[in-house]
Amino acid sequence: MNTIMKQVSEEQIEEAVIFQAGQILKQGGLVAFPTETVYGLGANALDAAAAERTYTAKGRPSDNPLIIHIAQMEALEKIVTNIPEPAKKVAEIFWPGPLTMIFQKTEVVPYGITGGLDTVAVRMPASRIARAVIQAGGGYISAPSANTSGRPSPTTAQHVAEDMEGKIEMIVDGGAVEIGVESTILDMTVEPPMILRPGAITKEMLQDVIGTVTVDQALLHEDSTQAPKAPGMKYRHYAPRAQLSVVEGSSCQVSDYINRETQRHMDAGRKVGIIATEETKERYLAGDVKCVGTRADERTIAAGLYGSLREFDADEVDVIYSEAFDNEGIGSAVMNRLLKAAGHHVIKV
Ligand code: TXA
Ligand code: MG
């Protein structure tokens, strides 16, 4: 299959490109498009056969459900049985935006996209390009991150092409995404609501609007015997090919340790990748050092993380060390993804 790649800018959205994307989606095809979090792999969510093609293109296990993306609030009623009051409040403040909510599904939602569950995940993205594509494609677009299952999520159209070229009909290239980690997932079918995946909308931000919000305990303890409530969170995910270790400790001890380990690996003929920041990058004496962002603004680290992990794959490094980051704000999403990418391999120095 020949994958069409077309550029679109957020400021001036090219109508012809959106129209073409919409036609492909309505005919059951697959179109990758940018959202503010990561690139999504879109299909008509109400067409079971179309959505199923998504699983094949990604190599994704069929028990891992998809998020339905909508472009306007009115679209919600058709796919969920009821909208609890707190969900209305959350939607008013955080939609459109990087937040997904879980509801009880109606029968128009195929079980093929919910992994057999009676609940459905819904998100209204903030990206104008995303909403234009959703609208043009009929208003209900399932969109998992547009990566091969297990690889880091794509934050540019080139990342999507690496994984999806020849497997999908079209890629809408809207440049690099703004946030860089996937949406927060909030389960509204339980009382109090529960965060199943941390993202840019933090627990504190949600609690300011609706009071108590809990966090799925399986996300907090690596050795939890309980499976995470979002089926996707149980898979090794966001992962580069090389073994990644996260090094925790005081800043100088971390860089000293990484320098020593780098030397040891290089002496043995292994190529080493290092995830550093603006503040620390000069300290590393050898190795493939990537600066993900600045500690002065954790959002830059979120935006740079997946791209760096992909670059290490391209550079064919054998081992990767990453500094740890603050768990505050979007930092909790960054650390969640980093620890999963590392298979929870943490070194305390
Ligand atoms: O930011 C995002 O949410 C991106 C962009 C493209 O919108 N999408 C995304 O989709 O991250 P995906 O498929 O890569 O991740 C969806 C996550 C999975 O962990 C899945 O298990 C969970 O949502 N999920 C979906 N439906 C669910 C449900 N009914 N109950 C619990 N978890 C659900
Ligand atoms: Mg994903």
Q: State yes or no: pLDDT of 136 exceeds 80.
A: yes
Q: State yes or no: pLDDT of 225 exceeds 70.
A: no
> Cβ of 251: how many Cβ atoms within 10 Å?
13
Residue 239's pLDDT band, with cuts at 50, 70 and 90, is confident
| HEC profile of 220-281 | HCCCCCCCCCCHHHHCCCCCCCCEEEEEECCHHHHHHHHHHHHHHHHHCCCCEEEEECCCCH
CA distance linking residue 182 with residue 173, whole number of Å: 18
Number of H helices, E strands in the chain: 12, 16
Atom of ligand 1 nearest to the CA of 60: 13
The predicted model gives 179-198 an average pLDDT of 97
The answer to whether the CB of 262 is under 6 A from ligand 1 is: no
The string of DSSP letters for 51-63 reads HHHHHHHHT--TT
Atom of ligand 1 nearest to the CA of 41: 6
| Span 19-68, pLDDT tens digits | 999 999 999 999 999 999 999 999 999 999 998 899 999 999 988 999 99
Q: State yes or no: pLDDT of 263 exceeds 80.
A: yes
Query: Can you give the pLDDT at residue 121?
Result: 98
Mean pLDDT of the chain: 95
Q: State yes or no: pLDDT of 112 exceeds 90.
A: yes
- The answer to whether the CB of 208 falls within 8 A of the CB of 227 is no
How many Å lie between the centroid of ligand 1 and the Cα of residue 174? 21
Query: Can you give the pLDDT at residue 240?
Result: 85
Residue of 261, 233, 263, 250 lying closest to 341 (CA atoms) = 233
The answer to whether the CB of 40 is under 6 A from ligand 1 is: yes
| HEC profile of 286-306 | CCEEEECCCCCCHHHHHHHHH
- The answer to whether the CB of 277 falls within 8 A of the CB of 283 is no
The predicted model gives 234-250 an average pLDDT of 86
How many Å from the N-terminal Cα to the C-terminal Cα in the chain? 50
CA distance linking residue 268 with residue 258, whole number of Å: 15
| HEC profile of 135-186 | HHCCCCEECCECCCCCCCCCCCHHHHHHHHCCCCCEEEECCCCCCCCCCEEE
Q: Is 248 exposed, middle or buried (0-12, 13-18, 19+ CB in 10 A)?
A: middle
How many Å lie between the centroid of ligand 1 and the Cα of residue 185? 7
Q: State yes or no: pLDDT of 236 exceeds 70.
A: no
- The answer to whether the CB of 108 falls within 8 A of the CB of 46 is yes
